[in-house]
Amino acid sequence: MPYVSTPLLALAVSSSLQAVEGFARPSSSLLARAQTTQATSQRFASTLADTYGSISTSSPGDRIPIDESYPGLRRVHADPDVFVIEDFLDGASCDEIIEAAKEKGTERSPVAYAGWTTDIKDLLGLAATGPVTWAAIIAAWAEAQGDEDASVLGLVLHSIRNYAILFVAAAAAIAAFTKIRADGLQELRTSTSTTLDDMAMSGPRNFVLNAARLFGPSSADSDMHESQFFESPTVISYERDQSLAPHYDANRSADVEDANRGGQTLSTLLVYLNDVDSGGTTRFGRLPAAPDCDRQLASDSECLNIVPRKGDALLFFPADADGRFDERTEHEGRPAVDEKWIARIWRHVDKVPPPFGLSDESIGTYIDGKKD
pLDDT value for 145 = 67
The answer to whether 45 and 13 have CB atoms below 8 angstroms apart is yes
pLDDT value for 316 = 98
pLDDT value for 130 = 66
Task: Tell me the C-alpha distance between 173 and 136, whole Å.
Answer: 17
What digits encode the pLDDT tens for the residues 279-298?
999 999 999 999 999 999 99
Strand order in the sheet with 265-272: 73-77, 82-85, 313-316, 265-272, 340-348, 234-238, 192-195, 107-108
Q: What is the mean pLDDT of residues 47-68?
A: 66
The answer to whether 308 and 342 have CB atoms below 8 angstroms apart is yes
What's the mean per-residue pLDDT of the chain?
78
DSSP code for 348: E
Query: What is the dotted CATH code of the domain comprising 73-109+191-367?
Result: 2.60.120.620
Closest among 215, 230, 257, 196 to 353, alpha carbons compared: 230
The terminus-to-terminus CA distance of the chain in angstroms comes to 49
Among residues of the chain, what percentage have pLDDT more than 90? Answer: 51
What digits encode the pLDDT tens for the residues 231-279?
999 999 999 999 888 889 998 888 888 899 999 999 999 999 999 989 9
The answer to whether 347 and 269 have CB atoms below 8 angstroms apart is yes
Q: In 10 A of CB 344, how many CB atoms?
A: 19
- Model pTM score: 0.70
pLDDT value for 18 = 39
What digits encode the pLDDT tens for the residues 173-231?
767 766 666 555 555 657 889 999 999 999 999 999 999 999 986 545 567 899 999 99
Backbone angles phi, psi at 196, to 5 degrees: -120, 120
Within 52-104, residue ranges assigned H as helices are 91-104
What digits encode the pLDDT tens for the residues 103-155?
999 887 765 555 546 666 666 676 666 676 656 666 666 666 666 555 666 66
Task: Tell me the C-alpha distance between 9 and 112, whole Å.
Answer: 31
Map out the domains of the chain as residue ranges: 73-109+191-367, 118-187
Q: What is the mean pLDDT of residues 333-362?
A: 95
Q: Transcribe 291-346 into DSSP letters.
A: TT-TTB-TT--SEEEEPP-TT-EEEE-SB-TT--B-GGG-EEEPPBSS-EEEEEEE
DSSP code for 363: I
- pLDDT grade for 172, boundaries at 50, 70 and 90: confident
